Structure 1
Amino acid sequence: MATPRWHGAIAVLAEMRRSPGTTRAAVAQRLGLSSGSATDITARLRELALLTETPAAAAGRGRPTTVLAPHPEGPVVIAVDLRYEDWRCAVAGLDGRPVVLDAAPHASRDPEQVLEAAGRAVRRAHARYGDRVRGVAVAAAATVQHGRVVQASSLGWGPVDLTPLGVPGVPLRIDNDATLAGVAEARDGAGAGAGTALHVTVEVGVGGTLVVDGQPVRGATGAGGEFGHLPFGDRTLRCPCGALGCWDPTVDGRALARHLGEPPPSDPRTYAVAVLRRTDPAAVAAVARAAQSLGRGIAGLVNGLDPEVVTLGGLAPPLRAAATGAFAEAFTDGLMTFRRAAPPPLRPAALGDDAALHGAAATALDAVLTEESLSAWARLRGV
């Protein structure tokens, strides 16, 4: 628990992060602070270069209030999104809003080359922001166990050391991209306000997470949420992960190619986008089969996990929209009878392709907004 010195400060910073553009008066009201206490805390935070205040828009008579925002010289975190086809490097202040600084498609699938390219971007960001960088978080399209990549089947990787993406002396967090996207959607996106939110995304395969009170359910080793490797698929199909019958290859671009009698695509996501745009009978039938598999699998997850809301990311919303009837029938038929009268709402993700970056920034900032980290920042500032 934070000491009195930091308790109010951490609470104010958390409110600023939770509600960008909030006013000092609104924060004081939500936290039950007197006007004087709120003034003292924000003055201290300005002195520490943790927040800044600007006049809010006039709202009638009365003393003008101020809008709280991250200080322009305050702490930042670096977020890296290591995806199937490319990588992106962003920076976020205490409001958790990532700004992409650098991005590039993979010139090679060789992990050393990928990490060298992304690592150079991280080093450039560190050179730009210096000691203000208080954390680095990586969202990886991979299975992550105990904070380490143990398999990235879509990239053709086995265990890969991602420490080249870190910064000396700065904490490095590594997590699955779908897990981080789910955290972002549960906290600030389509699942905001729900205590238990299920996130399901389709990219190259299926991923996701269950988020309870803003935190992902990671399992015993951190590798939870590999929904695409549940045996919801065809038992005759061997998944690149090594298992038989995975859900993954029955939903994405590989499934569409197989239904169309075409060779496996080198880029399943781009291939799927192209097929979803087609209107010929063969493509429509292939999409319907993939949508049925998606709906049936989500029903199974709802039966087992009992979420308040389901957020759908990546290609899941367009796949559902392209075969609404097939998806709905499979989803409803897959639900236990007692759930059918009031199933959880299925909502398109609100943060789009940036969800994993938002989640990476959010989890890195969780570690920044602690008494230990803020005390270290105060020492750095000489305050």
Structure 2
Amino acid sequence: MVSAHAERLRWHTAAQLLTVMRDAPGITRAAAAARLGIGSGSASELTARLRKAHLVDEVRAPAQGRGRPTAVLAAHPEGPLIAAADLGVAGWRLAIAGVDGRPEIVAHDEYAGHELSAALAGMSRAIGAVHRRHADRLAALSVSVAGTVSDARLVQFTARGSRDVDLAVLTAKIPRRVAVLLGNDATLAGLAEARTGAARDVTTALHLMVAQGIGGALVVNGEPVAGGHGAAGEYGHVPFGDPGLRCPCGARGCWDLTVDGRALARHLGDRVPTDPIGYVHDLAARRDALSRSAFRKVAASLGRGIGALVNLHDPEAVTLGGVAALLRAQATGAFDDAFRDALMAFRKASPPPVRDALHGEDGPLQGAVLAGLDHVTTPDALAAWVGRRRA
């Protein structure tokens, strides 16, 4: 009888192959073997074992001119699935993804005002429907939330004025064997950029995402710095803003209030927008003198704060997600000047590059997928998947 330890070791290289396949979509078996440092014979044996376990398949790549068709690694059509949900300020989405990490949206909806409970109920029904369709394959539910997450709980959903939100309704229609993961949207977006996005070439990256307010993550070696209780990265609540402004979080002077659609509306004398993200997009299309002035003020606050965080964290690169890249693009000069002026003297000659996020506003959902796959593609999880299939 094979021991549990031996079974874990048996699936160690398999877990590494799945990581390579996820990080390099469309990779061939030979190229994956080269990355892992194994021979072609070992790669063939490993791929055959994973195909038998319904984890990996090889499919024909799209034709590119003449020559023999190329077979690339892909998720097995009967393999494990991740359900990844993204709960934002004004809407939610639910996707499923195989071990290749490619999400397919299967449900979505919008909500307004304080209809959070109705939104959660709708998400729960959609999650239940996914489980009914894929009862034997659903391995994890990974949820991204535009709120403060601590110790796997949503402790503050500032965008909706809620605290200690009970998310148990999301798991009401799925069995306990399905792993449930909860993460902050900006943190998960940072994970996505570090693994498969604009920061995949650096060891230490700072990701900042503007939606309603600003959040982010410091990602080191592909892992977000979570803090003692998992609530790190609440950059929007650093007092870089006006001390005369009280934030919905309960503090004063939060940076949040100076870098998003609410800040633009305040500069223009408009009412607080119910959808700050949509407001930024709408205002960017106006291009009148007043809107340009508002964008310069917001972009300057964004650049100045990022400069301060560069002094704090010393990242090799900074990535901008959500509407942060759009805010910078509307007033590049104001952003660049404020960013440079905030840097310590020794950094000014070679500041870290500030890049637009590759995943854009899909970063939180993509990060939720990756977090789920981290959980279900460990050697232990792969061994458990095969054990269930044998039972």
- Is 1:162–2:170 an aligned residue pair? no
Q: Which moved more, 1:180-189 or 1:57-66?
A: 57-66
**Alignment-derived partner of residue 241 in structure 2:** 233
- Kindly tell me: are residues 284 and 22 of structure 1, through their superposed partners in 2, closer, same or farther at Cα, counting changes over 3 Å? same
**Alignment-derived partner of residue 33 in structure 1:** 38
**Alignment-derived partner of residue 11 in structure 2:** 6
**Alignment-derived partner of residue 378 in structure 2:** 370
- In structure 2, C-alpha distance between the alignment counterparts of 1:112 and 1:125, rounded to whole Å: 20
- Kindly tell me: are residues 231 and 63 of structure 1, through their superposed partners in 2, closer, same or farther at Cα, counting changes over 3 Å? same
What is the CA-CA distance between 1:371 and the residue it aligns to?
2.1
Structure 2 counterparts to residues 86-165 of structure 1, below 5 A: 86-106=91-111, 109-165=114-170
**Alignment-derived partner of residue 80 in structure 2:** 75
- Is 1:53–2:58 an aligned residue pair? yes
Q: Which moved more, 1:219-228 or 1:51-60?
A: 51-60
What is the CA-CA distance between 1:382 and the residue it aligns to?
1.2
What is the CA-CA distance between 1:57 and the residue it aligns to?
7.3
CA distances 1:206-246 after superposition (whole Å, capped 9, x unpaired): 11111111100011110000010000000000000000000
Q: Which moved more, 1:277-286 or 1:81-90?
A: 277-286
**Alignment-derived partner of residue 334 in structure 2:** 326
Q: 2:366 is matched by which residue type in structure 1?
A: H
**Alignment-derived partner of residue 283 in structure 1:** 291
Residues 24 and 38 of structure 1 are in contact (CA less than 8 Å); yes or no, is this contact kept in structure 2? Answer: yes
TM-score by length of structure 2 reads: 0.94
- In structure 2, C-alpha distance between the alignment counterparts of 1:205 and 1:252, rounded to whole Å: 6
- Is 1:262–2:267 an aligned residue pair? no
- Is 1:338–2:338 an aligned residue pair? no
- In structure 2, C-alpha distance between the alignment counterparts of 1:269 and 1:57, rounded to whole Å: 37
- Is 1:272–2:304 an aligned residue pair? no
Residues 82 and 140 of structure 2 are in contact (CA less than 8 Å); yes or no, is this contact kept in structure 1? Answer: yes
CA distances 1:233-283 after superposition (whole Å, capped 9, x unpaired): 000000000000000011111111111122222222222222222222221
**Alignment-derived partner of residue 231 in structure 2:** 223
Q: Which moved more, 1:252-261 or 1:355-364?
A: 252-261
- In structure 2, C-alpha distance between the alignment counterparts of 1:59 and 1:206, rounded to whole Å: 43
Q: 2:311 is matched by which residue type in structure 1?
A: N
Q: 2:301 is matched by which residue type in structure 1?
A: S
Residues 111 and 157 of structure 1 are in contact (CA less than 8 Å); yes or no, is this contact kept in structure 2? Answer: no
Structure 2 counterparts to residues 169-184 of structure 1, below 5 A: 169=176, 170-184=178-192
- In structure 2, C-alpha distance between the alignment counterparts of 1:289 and 1:149, rounded to whole Å: 32
Q: 1:117 is matched by which residue type in structure 2?
A: G
- In structure 1, C-alpha distance between the alignment counterparts of 2:67 and 2:34, rounded to whole Å: 16
TM-score by length of structure 1 reads: 0.96
Q: 2:188 is matched by which residue type in structure 1?
A: L
Residues 249 and 255 of structure 1 are in contact (CA less than 8 Å); yes or no, is this contact kept in structure 2? Answer: yes
Residues 24 and 65 of structure 1 are in contact (CA less than 8 Å); yes or no, is this contact kept in structure 2? Answer: no
- In structure 1, C-alpha distance between the alignment counterparts of 2:309 and 2:70, rounded to whole Å: 46
**Alignment-derived partner of residue 195 in structure 2:** 187
Unaligned runs of 5+ in 2: none
Q: 2:57 is matched by which residue type in structure 1?
A: T
- In structure 1, C-alpha distance between the alignment counterparts of 2:95 and 2:237, rounded to whole Å: 30
Residues 236 and 244 of structure 1 are in contact (CA less than 8 Å); yes or no, is this contact kept in structure 2? Answer: yes
**SS at 2:206's partner residue?**
strand
- In structure 2, C-alpha distance between the alignment counterparts of 1:183 and 1:322, rounded to whole Å: 26
- Is 1:315–2:323 an aligned residue pair? yes
What is the CA-CA distance between 1:86 and the residue it aligns to?
0.2
What is the CA-CA distance between 1:59 and the residue it aligns to?
9.9
- In structure 1, C-alpha distance between the alignment counterparts of 2:237 and 2:66, rounded to whole Å: 59
Q: 1:362 is matched by which residue type in structure 2?
A: L
Residues 108 and 114 of structure 1 are in contact (CA less than 8 Å); yes or no, is this contact kept in structure 2? Answer: no
Q: 2:47 is matched by which residue type in structure 1?
A: T
- Kindly tell me: are residues 12 and 249 of structure 1, through their superposed partners in 2, closer, same or farther at Cα, counting changes over 3 Å? same
**SS at 2:239's partner residue?**
coil
What is the CA-CA distance between 1:362 and the residue it aligns to?
0.3
What is the CA-CA distance between 1:66 and the residue it aligns to?
3.2
**Alignment-derived partner of residue 27 in structure 2:** 22
**Alignment-derived partner of residue 359 in structure 1:** 367
- In structure 2, C-alpha distance between the alignment counterparts of 1:227 and 1:52, rounded to whole Å: 42
| Number of aligned residue pairs | 383
- In structure 2, C-alpha distance between the alignment counterparts of 1:212 and 1:139, rounded to whole Å: 20
The alignment-based identity, stated in percent, is: 52
